[in-house]
Each structure stands twice: as C-alpha cells, then as structure tokens.
Structure 1
Amino acid sequence: MHLFTLICGIVLLHKAYTLKCHECPTPEATETCTKTMDCPSGDFRCGALSITAYSGGSKISEVGFRRCVVAAECIEGGSINFGIAKTVIASECCTTDLCNSQPATAPSKSSPNGKKCFTCTGQSCSATLNCDGKEDHCISTKMIFGGQSLTVKGCATKSMCSATGQMLPGGLEGGISCCEGDLCNSAFSTSASLLILVASLLSLVMFS
C-alpha cells in the first residue's frame, strides 16, 4: 500500500511540475502569440527561437517559433556567415509558466572583428571574408544545390560549431568542419558533429 501511494505521488508530482508555454509555429517571429501548450514532461522548458537570413547585408527573411523545447534546443545564439549570405540565430529558454511570451531578441548588427576565413565564389574558394562580431571560427561544408555538389566556406561563432544534435541533413552532402585561426578552412574535411537546425538554416539561406 505504501509503495502504491509512493508511486502515485511521484507520478502526480511529476505531472504537476510540467510547464505551460506559449506556442507559435514558424513562420511567426514577432507577432503576438496567444495559443498555449502543456509540455509533455518536466524535462521541457519554454523556448523562443528566431532565425534571420541576410543577403548582401540586407535582411531577406525572419522566421521563428515559441513552444516547449528540450534542453538540447536551448543553444546559445550565434551566426553562420558565407559572405553573400549570413544566418543569425537568437535562442532564449526559461523555466516558468508562459515565460516565453516575447520572441527571441535578434542580435544587433555587428562589425568586422579582424578575423579572416576563406569563402567561395562559384567554384573558387580562394577569396577571403572578414568575420563579424563573435564569429571566431572558420567553417567548411558541402551542399547539394541544383543537382550539383558545391563547397561553401565562411565564418561562424563558437556556439554554432559546438552545438550538436540529431537532424535530417537536408541539402548537406557531408558534415560541417570548424577550425580556429585565420584562413584555417583552406581544405575541406567533414565532422561527425552536426549543428542543431543547421540543415534548416542552410536551406533557408541557399534556397531563398
């Protein structure tokens, strides 16, 4: 009897501590969010994420969501910069009911920080790119675009290189390689680590 009471108490207590969060699906990024959801378990948090894509320095799109998220989705914001195309992520998580009432705040425009990485123009990857803000790593990857395999290179923040997770590779042909040091991405190599949401980010930039 005592064991049954203990089990019931644990189950009910676990349920009692699940969060209620605002739920706004993509492509909502800045609009008022009135719909709510109950998180499946106490392992979830309330989250807000926005993804902003730039081309040639001009913002071309912004998408986002607010909902219950697992801890792995609460990545630190950052950016991936291919020169002509750049994607900036803002991510915010919290642990009280309906605490994600506001969209994630996108970082302000950054300026060159002195670091340089190789970038690709067509089939040539000999051009250099001035990294912005907190972009302290050089990156390399390959994409399938128009039926062809293309190498893309550029700058990224440390948070974008270190975040890992399970996801569909989308247009990715291989993995992402990150390195430190000026112009260290001269040779392509793959990595087993895949950035959370990287396929969505790259597709957003390359196919807009």
Structure 2
Amino acid sequence: MFVFSGDALHCYHCESDDSCIIQECASGSQCAATRKSSLRSCLSFPEQCYQGSVNYGLEREVFTSTCCSTNLCNNQSAPGNLSHKCYFCNGVECTGTLNCLGDEDYCISTTVSSGGTTKLLKGCASQEMCSLSNIPGLEEAGQVHKCCQKNLCNSASSTTAGLLLSVVPLISLGFFS
C-alpha cells in the first residue's frame, strides 16, 4: 500500500511494461497510458488524451492515450470491426478501395504541401483524427484534410482520368464542327 502526502497526483512512469517507477506529477497533470509506445507517465496537456487512427491504405497509424486523474490509475497499458470502405491512393491514382478498421468510421482526404510539392492522401480515419487541425506525423508540412462518413465518400480520382475528361469535350467538338 502506498501513502502519499499533499495534493500532488502520483502516476506510474513506465518506459516499457516491465520497467515502472512512481512519479509525482506537476499540478494540473493527469496520468496517461499510451498504446503506440507502451509509455505510461504524467501528462500535462489534456488535449493529448485521445484515441484514434488514420489509415491511408499503404500506411496506418493508431494513436491511443487514455488519461485518468486518481493516484496510480495508469496501472495498465492503453487498450487496443470492420466498418466501411474508403478510397486510398497508391502514389499515382486514388482509385483503390480500403476496408476501414476498428474505430475508423470516416473517410479522409488530406492534401500535404511541403517543399513546393503537393501530395494527396486518402483513406480511413477515426472521428478523433478528423477533429484534429493537424494529423500527427504530418505536422511539419502544410496540410488540409476533409472527412466524410459514407462508404467511398472521399471520391476516387486519378490524374489520368482527369486529363481524359478534359480531352473528351475537345474531341467531340472537333467531330461536330
């Protein structure tokens, strides 16, 4: 049994599941357990307590941070359904379909601008990731993302199809003039 003095919150601080110490947290902190890195510690910023994922077809990131505010409440690692389909990009075209996993109940389209180039990413995301202003891992680049909740609502696109659609009216104009 642990006896704590004062009002400071105490949390487990673990670099891995088998190496933990008890840590006194700064005022206003919460205890947190993070799934991605199996880290458990004090967390000073409550906005970092979220669960979510983003799936771009070729790459999927799951972020899970559970937070609590009683002494030693982060004694376990953060916890870990197929929902619907969204389009994803393979580098050239965005016409592949992807089965969304877990809590990924939104389709996402993200435009990333960095170093004078623009890249389009499409895939599945959780509501938590859609509500963030910047998707983790893409912070260093300019990004704009849009989310929608229906099957395949992040529309397929390819540069080849776009070019073909702009040429067809010109060809038909040539035949009929």
Q: Which amino acid aligns with 1:47?
A: A
Identity, in percent, stands at 38
What is the match of residue 78 of structure 1?
Answer: 52
Q: Which residue of 1 aligns with 2:78?
A: 104
Q: Is the 8 A contact 2:108 2:147 kept in 1?
A: yes
Residues 93 and 44 (structure 1 numbering): CA distance in 2 closer, same or farther, change over 3 Å? same
Within 5 A, what are the aligned runs for 1:157-196? 157-163=126-132, 170-186=139-155
Aligned length: 152
User: What secondary structure sits across from 1:121 in the alignment?
Assistant: coil
Q: Whole-Å Cα distance in 2 between the matches of residues 92 and 100 of structure 1?
A: 8
Which residue does the alignment assign to 2:162? none
* SS in structure 2 of the partner of residue 176 of structure 1: strand
> Per the alignment, do residues 175 and 38 of structure 1 end up closer, same or farther by CA in structure 2, a change over 3 Å counting?
farther
Q: Cα RMSD between the aligned structures? A: 3.1
From the superposition, tell whether residues 143 and 179 of structure 1 become closer, same or farther in structure 2 (CA, over 3 Å).
same
TM-score normalised by the chain length of structure 1: 0.61
Q: Deviations over 1:113-148 (max 9, x none)?
A: 2x2211001121122222223321111213468985
Deviation at 1:19, TM superposition (A): 0.4
- Please, what TM-score do these two structures have when normalized by structure 2? 0.70
Query: Do residues 32 (structure 1) and 1 (structure 2) align?
Result: no
Gaps of 5+ in 1: 1-14, 52-62, 189-208
Matched, 1:22 2:12: yes
Amino acid at match of 1:90: T
- Name the CA shift for 1:37/1:176 in 2 (closer, same or farther; >3 Å): farther
1:48–1:184 Cα change, 3 Å = same
2:96 counterpart (108, 120, 127): 127
**5+ long unaligned stretches in structure 2:** 158-177
Q: Summarize deviations over 1:145-185 as a string: whole Å, max 9, x none.
A: 898532111011112222458x8953432133212222222
